[in-house]
Amino acid sequence: MLKRILMVLLVLSFIGVGLGVSLAADGKGNSRKGKYLYRKNCRTCHVENGKAKELSPVSKTQAQWKTTFADPKKLPCAGEWAKLSDKDLTDIYAYLWGHAKDSPSPAKCK
């Protein structure tokens, strides 16, 4: 656990600024690609009984997803984010934002 935190801190120190994804155009990414990337990159930890809190698009409102993506540096997994391209993050955002709790099409399953 400690090792993981250290690792995260280390990575964080490297990435510094520039992580905040430009998300001016809400949901303009490829939501379907985003679902795939989310499953591949995020669900590895964010699952039931996983390393991190279980998450699905309906865990947050659209505004909350926006906040999350505007400043991911605070997140414990910011290091993981750094491994993803801007395009990938935009796609993941499109999926999560597009199927958020208060979206027109809230996700049914994870």
Partner 1 sequence: MADSYRPALSRRGFLKLAGAAGAAAALGGGGLSASKPAQAAGGLRPGFESKFTVCDMCFNKCSAIARVQGGVVQKLDPNPKFLKSRGMLCARGNAGVEQVYSRDRLKYPLLRVGERGEGKFKRISWDEALDIAAEKMKSIGERYTRCGFMFMAGSDMQSSFVHRFAEAYGSYNTLSHESMCLIAGTRAFLDTFGEVPIPDMLYTKYVVMVGANRFESLVTPDSIDLMTAMNNGAKLVVLDPRYTKTAAKADEWFAIRPRTDMAFMLALAHVLIKEKLYDRKFVGEKTYGIEQLAKHVEPCTPQWASEQCDIPAEDIARIARELAKAAPAAMVYPGRRSSNYTDSTQIRRSYAIVNALLGNWDRPGGLTAARKVGLSGGVPFEPPFYENNPEDRIDAGRAKLMFPEEGSFKLARDAVIAGKPYPVKGWFTYHTNPMQTAANRQKTIKMINDMEFMISMDIQMSDTAWMADLVLPSQTYLERQDPCTAQQGSSACACVVMRDPVVAPLYESKPVFWVMQQIARRIGLGEHFDFTIEQFREKQLSGLQGAMDALKRDGVYYNPSKLYGVYEGKIYKTKSHKIELFNSRYAEMGLDPMPVYTPPKAGGYDRFRLVVGRNAVITQSSSQNNSLLVKFQPTNHLWIHPDPAKEMGIKDGDWVWVKGPHGKQRLQAKVTHQTRPDTVYMATGFGVLSTGLKNIYGEGACIAEVLNDDFDGISGNMAMHETWVSVGREAA
**76: exposed, middle or buried (C-beta count within 10 Å: 0-12, 13-18, 19+)?**
middle
Angle at 23 between CA 109 and CA 42, to 5 degrees: 40
Angstrom distance (rounded) from CA 60 to CA 62 = 7
Distance in Å, CB of 79 to partner 1, minimum: 21
Distance in Å, CB of 33 to partner 1, minimum: 6
Give residues 68-97 in contact with partner 1 (rule: CB under 8 A).
Answer: none
Choose the binding region for partner 1 from 16-24, 39-47, 66-74, 80-88 (rule: CB under 8 A). 39-47
Distance in Å, CB of 39 to partner 1, minimum: 5
Supply 27's token pair: 């949901």
* Residues within the interface to partner 1 (CB under 8 A): 30-33, 36-37, 39-40, 43, 47-48, 61, 101-102, 104-106, 108-110
